[in-house]
Structure 1
């Protein structure tokens, strides 16, 4: 049997008795912001999240991952009853945030600065590398595993200086270079997925942890992702080794290591294959080349259009008293399915998915890439639309101004230096210039060449929803890198439960992982994920997935949230939360018995009318009290749900 074919295969199925066919909907319950909501201003220097450059070479899946990256990390309790979370401030310090449910007070402590490379070239053998956001995993109440986003991994110890103060110390740092045939001096940017301290014997204490990094498929030039299981010795000499590597086309939405280190569960929309095992030196990994396109780099370096010595702008735009028109030049033949455009009243999200073989000309401007980018002023999304002419490669956005007769100085809140095209004739010249680089392809594109495709932006479906409309697959991978069990079905991933680090639950000789919520018709089905402790002895599947609760109509209500940032459900299945946009949270509560109606609450998170800071993270600060802590770039917000 192939090592990539699991021994056990099972289907994920809901239990009919846990469904509520009589459910009619949610009733709105007013949320008491005075007693149930508290704002805490972050001390300086607060948080600055690097923006995704418009010329970024990131793949669409990487961009989506960054948009939904949770910058707030759960920690173990240090002082009994107090919730612990971590974040990185603007000076790259790890900051410990301690929340006391009794007083609703938050105290922050700067632990240690995580160094960033000052001479990072961003290239490996001529191939561009994109850094990742720093990530963190709490291993114990006083030990953290941290990445700086550039390929350096740190082991950090938390010190209790006195009864009310904490500091940090870096015990060890290691460079992650992936597993490849050729030696590369540069570190490889990686993101932590999970980590756990494991004791195999009295003298063998070590950390098992999982990271992912980007690789390039040499045949298709598409983006793939390596998931590496690593071992870090906790002896004074430390020392890190890669145990095995999986590879797949998606960043996993679920990854958890079993408490005794026997293996781990990985969940994704597509499956992963083993490409390296340390125990078998005959197994090799394809060279780890990062996404790079020679034409794209020439395009970025180009600063002229033909011989007229004019700087290439990423777009041209003009405006009237009531609307704004923006034109982008795309590769000739770009279909409508490649365009993923979504508007809110305040933001633009636009990415172009050209697939593995984009027809990019050096004369073209950079491919547009705007990840939830703040616009200059408000617009009316329902009255806005976009059009594309594939034969010419012309993408046009028509934005309806919310405030008519307001003149925009530039398109985005942060000026990118693109001046307005005041002469309408320049738009005709722009189109002529596009046609200059195309040819008669009416037979190739059929009717698409003669008629622009139009979609109201308010109804355009993002690829993020397309991404979720796939069967969720969960794999059990043992420590040696063998795919032992697989569970899948026609269930789309909706969310997972909040982190719960304090203890590992064991029920009926099964160790339980965090649960997940999957779609079933319009409902959200909560499944427990477990590993039978004696599965190898009993010859049974090491992966048990069971329907334990139902959030009525949750799949339906989540699909209606066009600016969804984060979705999580309570470990005790009392509620599910959706954070949308910059300042709004939707809470859906669940009753234990089947009732016709459940409760819905809408929470406004903006501190005042001028608060436009982004929601960048969320964790559960207190499981027992159902207190959720939301991280914004300049504040923390406590939502008390019980």
Structure 2
């Protein structure tokens, strides 16, 4: 059965007293290198017009960071030459770029191809795709020293001249044999029209195995598809499962190692069962309605409510039974019967906590929103929609934000997004996290031994979550590891936003627009001197800085990468390095 996981932020990582970012006029040192050849940048053809194509082409990051060498970045030029950034040995600052490898031109670039892509599954291996259908696996040696490239594998793994991009890659040891797992993505056209759906997102999960003679061969190929766009996909450490965040569910189409059940995968959506009860919730309690025969009397009914258990019986028929999502105040339960309609009211033990389910794993119930809750939500958002500035009772302006910063992108997606764990052996969804109400912001590599961390909007904040493989209790750990105060709010005002990223230590977060502008938001830091608010007189213990950087180029921004104290930005013809959070003792 699919397990539902709830995202509960760590209150110790939230700052309820955050008063906003202060615009800093401190200059941000900028270093740049003019490229000898422009970056390889492919635009969609006339046949690639869907929203899925827009996401694949428009949001691809052309600047590739090395997880094992945080200050090293790579890009590919129009001649398919891979370049690596070069740092000055004395200053550790950007000093240019050097060519490290040239991909073979197996196919001439033409319309319909994808952009080149690059991924680093280990400290000594790299995986590259030419966007024309060929996947290359190369040995780089120690990339911290001078890299020496040697081709280990090269083939059209998805079919003859079938273009794709690389989403993720990982090295795994299985039965004393080294494996490379690579996740590929492309957009395919559906042959049979199905409710006007003409394009689907395809994922190809391939496994390469190292033989006795040090040669690499294709061992396994799994294919998945989904109607909607892809926000996030990652191979689980151990390579036995796949993590996917999307608006619509993905499912396995084929697996070369085991047959795929063509029926609807269990857990990909709730099974269509007859609704036996309806429930709604407020911040304090839950009301359940159950339809019973009109001739039913109170003596025929038995309602049992414990701390984390509920059971409703009508004569010998069990209408509702199981463990509740959270704890209850069992002594406060009331119920009434009126003309065949049983109404049970139970009180939450933790008020203000909204439940995802009434009974864990029970699909026989349907939740409806309480009218009072809807009105309360609208009332609470009124200040965000008003054209009047919000003031506190003393007449002072509200300290944090104003309604003019709200943009269309501040609204949540109409479709509820899902973050799921797909098991490679059973082809089913083993765990699921509902992201409804949590706007997707970005993903970033924080730990080389873990999947990319994800940043979601919670209220006005941006919360960073780290996913880990399930433990012995079969729970899927999703740990809240950091918070960017009010970032969910401030990023919504950036209409031209293209990329978001943060430092590995989460000391700063950056928003990069499509052209020129880069916004840097640094975490609050303690103030050594005495500082008080002139209006309220309150002592200010820490401040958070916002910095705006204007690049000296109008060329489109194609990529971004954040290290501990450098923010790299790639345009069509220039590589920039912005010096952020730098000190002589900073960790490189």
Q: Any idea what the Cα deviations from partners look like across 1:498-544, whole Å, max 9, x if unmatched?
A: 3356x42xxxxxxx433211112222122222224xx3xx3422x22
2:205 is the alignment partner of 1:229: yes
Residue 520, structure 1, aligned to residue 458, structure 2: yes
Q: CA deviation at 1:89?
A: 0.7
Correspondence for 2:442: 496
Partner of 1:113: 102
Contact 2:519–2:546 under 8 Å retained in 1: yes
Q: CA deviation at 1:629?
A: 1.2
User: Cα deviation per residue 1:61-91 (whole Å; 9 max; x = unaligned)?
Assistant: 21133222100112254xxx77222111111
Cα distance in 1, alignment partners of residues 513 and 473 from structure 2? 45
- Whether the aligned pair in 2 keeps the contact of 1:195 and 1:207 (CA below 8 Å) is yes
Aligned to 2:51: 60
* Cα distance between partner residues in 2 of 1:640 and 1:632: 17
| 2:54 counterpart SS class | helix
Alpha-carbon distance in structure 1 between the residues aligned to 2:444 and 2:551? 19
Q: 2:187 aligns with which of 199, 205, 214?
A: 214
Residue 554 of structure 2, aligned match among 601, 604, 612:
612
Name 2:250's counterpart in structure 1: 272
| Cα separation, 2, equivalents of 1:117 and 1:197 | 26
**Which residue of 2 is the match for residue 634 of structure 1?**
573
- 8 A contact 2:220–2:257 mirrored in 1: no
Structure 2: stretches of 5+ with no match in the other structure: 265-404, 527-539, 582-588
Residues 41, 634 of structure 1: 8 Å contact kept: yes
Residues 515 and 556 in structure 2, CA contact (< 8 A), matched pair in contact too = yes
* Residue 218 of structure 2 is aligned to residue 240 of structure 1: yes
State the partner residue of 1:544. 477
Contact 2:153 2:217 in 1 (8 A): no
> How many angstroms does 1:492 deviate by?
3.2
Q: CA 1:195 to 1:164, structure 2 compared with 1: closer, same or farther past 3 Å?
A: closer
For residues 434-513 of structure 1, what are the structure 2 equivalents within 5 Å?
461=408, 468=413, 470-480=415-425, 481-500=427-446, 503-504=448-449, 512-513=450-451
Moved more, 513-522 or 97-106: 97-106
Displacement, 1:549? 2.7
Q: 1:91 to 1:227 in 2, by over 3 A?
A: same
- 8 A Cα contact 2:75 2:82, kept in partner: yes
The answer to whether structure 1 residue 11 and structure 2 residue 23 are counterparts is no
1-side partners of 2:182 and 2:263: how far apart? 20
Question: How big is the shift at 1:247?
Answer: 1.6
Work out the CA distance in 1 between the residues paired with 2:407 and 2:7: 30
Bigger CA radius of gyration = 2
State whether residues 581 and 615 of structure 1, in contact with CA within 8 Å, keep that contact through their aligned partners in structure 2: yes
Tell me how far 1:487 sits from its aligned partner: 1.4
The answer to whether the 8 Å contact 2:441/2:457 transfers is: no
- Aligned equivalents of 1:285 and 1:150: distance in 2? 33
543, 549, 552: which one pairs with 1:603?
Answer: 549
Is 2:39 the partner of 1:47? Answer: yes
- Does the alignment pair 1:133 with 2:115? yes
Stretches of structure 1 lacking an aligned partner (at least 5 in a row)? 1-5, 123-129, 179-185, 287-457, 505-511
Provide closer, same or farther for how the CA distance between residues 15 and 605 of structure 1 changes in structure 2, counting only shifts above 3 A.
same
Q: Match of 1:291? A: none
Match of 1:563 in 2: 496
8 Å CA contact 1:566, 1:580 repeated in 2: yes
Alpha-carbon displacement from aligned partner over 1:483-508 (angstroms, at most 9, x marks no partner): 2111123243443353356x42xxxx
Give deviations 1:81-122, integer Å, cap 9, x for gaps: 772221111111122224458431334232322234546887
Query: CA contact under 8 A between 1:497 and 1:570: conserved in structure 2?
Result: no
Displacement of 1:566 in angstroms is 0.3
* Alpha-carbon distance, 1:563 to partner: 0.7
Output the CA distance in 2 between the equivalents of 1:592 and 1:476. 37
Distance 1:156 1:251, change over 3 A: farther
Q: Distance in 2 between matches of 1:137 and 1:469?
A: 32
| C-alpha distance 640-241 of structure 1, shift in aligned 2 (>3 A) | same
Write the distance in 1 (CA, Å) between the matches of 2:559 and 2:501: 11
Q: Is residue 70–residue 617 contact of structure 1 (8 Å, CA) maintained in 2?
A: yes
Residues 530-564 of structure 1, C-alpha deviation per residue, up to 9 Å, x if partnerless? 224xx3xx3422x2223333222212211111111
How big is the shift at 1:592? Answer: 6.9
Give me the whole-angstrom Cα distance separating, in 1, the residues matched to 2:17 and 2:178: 53
Corresponding residue SS for 1:222: strand
Other structure's SS at 1:513 match: coil
Pick closer, same or farther for the CA change 1:133–1:586 going to 2, 3 Å.
same
In 2, distance between residues paired with 1:76 and 1:256? 15
Pairing of 1:70-109 with structure 2 (within 5 A): 70-77=61-68, 83-99=71-87, 102-109=91-98
Give, in angstroms, the shift of residue 193 of structure 1: 0.8
Q: Give the 3 Å change call, closer, same or farther, for CA 494–240 of structure 1 in structure 2.
A: same
**Distance (whole Å) between structure 1 residues aligned to residue 163 and residue 245 of structure 2:** 22
Cα RMSD of the aligned pairs, angstroms, is: 3.1
1:171 pairs with 2:166: no
Distance 1:228 1:531, change over 3 A: same
